[in-house]
Amino acid sequence: MSDLPAYRVWALPGIPEVRTGDDIAKLIASAATAEGLPGLADGDVLMVTSKILSKAEGRVVRADDREAAIDAEAVRVVARRGPLRIVENRLGLVMAAAGVDASNTPAGTVLLLPEDPDASARRIRTGLRDTLGVNVGVVVTDTFGRPWRSGLTDVAIGAAGVRVLDDLRGGTDAHGNPLNATVVATADELAAAGDLVKGKASGLPVAVVRGLSHVVVSEGDDAPRDGDAGARALVRDAADDMFRLGTSEAVREAVTLRRTVREFTDDPVDGGAVRRAVAAAVTAPAPHHTTPWRFVLLESAESRVRLLDAMRDAWIADLRGDGFSEENIARRVRRGDVLRKAPYLVVPCLVMDGSHTYPDARRNASEREMFVVAAGAGVQNFLVALAGERLGSAWVSSTMFCRDVVREVLGLPADWDPMGAVAVGRAAVSPSERPVRDAAAFVTVR
């Protein structure tokens, strides 16, 4: 049985109450060499609760208002439910309250996370090597909640001398199947193992794991390098994070992302993404329980060119009829080229199915206005959903000025009213900063 894979984990007693300026490595070394304890050996991994590092590094601050401390540490709100906030903090960690902790600290103060947990772990590792002559790994831990799972667990927020990730991609499983996505979060698994013996209120802030020396990097300097990148390597890049936002925050982010794009790349547009945006569009409010929206998707270059050529010819004829010079006409036509530059076009249409007819023109006009407003709400939903799919768009009104031409070219029913055209694609350049608008300037209270 002795050759079966196994490890041992124990909490390290004897760590005193930590104060600002204390040398954590020396405190651990003293506790580990106490009589009756197994000491530390090469290949051991230490799990160190971040709280004692915060205290030693002077990260205890006065804060009668804990919310203000959270504001100072947070860089982005991910989700909010009442007073609870899940935020991204300055370390890139997504967690409740930015890691600001009001427990195990005097009243009127809060604990902030260590300034640089990876650097803190490197100092402890170096200090133990200098004091005890051992090559150990160090993991700095903190408590996290997790999406879709009840309960808390410790995870790694800092590390030194530990291979924090075990990348199995490119290998095969026991059945010979290729492993294409398996990257094991070794440092988080170590943190959770240590937490089982440390506990949350037992006064045992350090745990030792023995028997897993293969996760400890060889002895050398403690600068981040291959195999020892620190816990920062566990933070998923924003571009790869499919669950970056909470529900309401995702909506607000998508609304913010929705910008008019006038220059597109040649990248093809996923028709599935556009159809998902249409599904969002048709959830807009509408009068009389109607569905006044229709979306014509121009997915082929031929259909787009045929429509835009016919619209251009009709527009030029109208401008000449209005007495514009050829130079002025050419300039106006060039301004409308945004639709030609897009790899995908959508023509939203209004239908009046289900509308009411009244005996006087005023009420009939108001009835149409209700349907037009509903159409606009549907298009706004559509644009926001496109932004959520990371697609740029530009809603251009030109089809409204030649509806008969559009209906004829696209073979649409006579009662479909084109409500502009939406250019869709990936933005070729980043949009300029949106002008800041004070919402209060648009509000009237009675």
* CATH number, residue 70: 3.90.1660.10
Mean pLDDT of all residues belonging to the chain: 89
Both 105 and 130 in one domain: the answer is: no
Both 53 and 77 in one domain: the answer is: no
For residues 81 and 270, the model is more confident at 270
Q: What is the pLDDT of residue 405?
A: 95
Confidence of residue 430 (pLDDT cuts 50, 70, 90): confident
Kindly state whether residue 424 falls inside one of the protein's structural domains.
Answer: yes
Q: What is the pLDDT of residue 81?
A: 77
Kindly state whether residue 368 falls inside one of the protein's structural domains.
Answer: yes
Q: What is the pLDDT of residue 402?
A: 92
Taking 70 as the threshold, does the pLDDT of residue 223 lie above it?
no
Domain closes at, from 198, 217, 240: 240
Both 68 and 184 in one domain: the answer is: no
Across the range 384-390, mean pLDDT stands at: 88
Q: What is the pLDDT of residues 52-68, one digit of tens each?
A: 999 999 998 887 778 88
Across the range 16-40, mean pLDDT stands at: 94
Kindly state whether residue 3 falls inside one of the protein's structural domains.
Answer: no
Domain closes at, from 213, 240, 267: 240
Check: CB of residue 160 under 8 Å from CB of residue 228.
yes
Q: What is the pLDDT of residues 153-187, one digit of tens each?
A: 999 999 999 999 988 888 887 788 887 778 899 99
Whose structure tokens read 């390290």? 12
Both 168 and 142 in one domain: the answer is: yes
Q: What is the pLDDT of residue 221?
A: 47
Both 87 and 53 in one domain: the answer is: no
Taking 70 as the threshold, does the pLDDT of residue 220 lie above it?
no
Both 387 and 281 in one domain: the answer is: yes
Kindly state whether residue 405 falls inside one of the protein's structural domains.
Answer: yes
Kindly state whether residue 378 falls inside one of the protein's structural domains.
Answer: yes
Confidence of residue 134 (pLDDT cuts 50, 70, 90): very high
* CATH number, residue 43: 3.30.1330.100
For residues 313 and 80, the model is more confident at 313
Kindly state whether residue 2 falls inside one of the protein's structural domains.
Answer: no
Both 19 and 69 in one domain: the answer is: no
Tell me which residue range forms the domain holding 173: 8-59+113-240
Kindly state whether residue 39 falls inside one of the protein's structural domains.
Answer: yes
Taking 90 as the threshold, does the pLDDT of residue 200 lie above it?
no
Report the number of distinct structural domains present in the chain: 3
Taking 80 as the threshold, does the pLDDT of residue 277 lie above it?
yes
Both 163 and 259 in one domain: the answer is: no
Backbone angles phi, psi at 302, to 5 degrees: -60, -45
Confidence of residue 103 (pLDDT cuts 50, 70, 90): confident
Both 215 and 352 in one domain: the answer is: no
Whole-number percent of the chain with pLDDT over 90: 64
Q: What is the pLDDT of residue 61?
A: 85
Both 283 and 174 in one domain: the answer is: no
Kindly state whether residue 1 falls inside one of the protein's structural domains.
Answer: no
Q: What is the pLDDT of residue 227?
A: 55
Confidence of residue 329 (pLDDT cuts 50, 70, 90): confident
Domain closes at, from 240, 256, 283: 240
Taking 60 as the threshold, does the pLDDT of residue 401 lie above it?
yes
Secondary structure, 3-state, the chain: CCCCCCCEEEECCCCCCCCCCCCHHHHHHHHHCCCCCCCCCCCCEEEEEHHHHHHHCCCEEECCCHHHHHHHHEEEEEEEECCEEEEEECCCCEEEHHHCECCCCCCCEEECCCCCHHHHHHHHHHHHHHHHCCCCEEEEEEEEEECCEEEEEEEEEEEECECCCEECCCCECCCCCECCCCEECHHHHHHHHHHHHHCCCCCCCEEEEECCHHHECCCCCCCCECCECCHHHHCCCHHHCCCCCCHHHHHHHHHHHCCECCCECCCCCCHHHHHHHHHHHCCCCCHHHCCCEEEEEECCHHHHHHHHHHHHHHHHHHHHHCCCCHHHHHHHHHHHHHCCCCCEEEEEEECCCCCCCCCCHHHHHHHHHHHHHHHHHHHHHHHHHHHHCCCEEEEECHHHHCHHHHHHHHCCCCCCEECCEEEEECECCCCCCCCCCCHHHHCCCC
* CATH number, residue 397: 3.40.109.10
- The C-alpha atoms of residue 129 and residue 370 are separated, in whole angstroms, by 75
Both 342 and 204 in one domain: the answer is: no
Both 141 and 283 in one domain: the answer is: no
Q: What is the pLDDT of residue 345?
A: 97
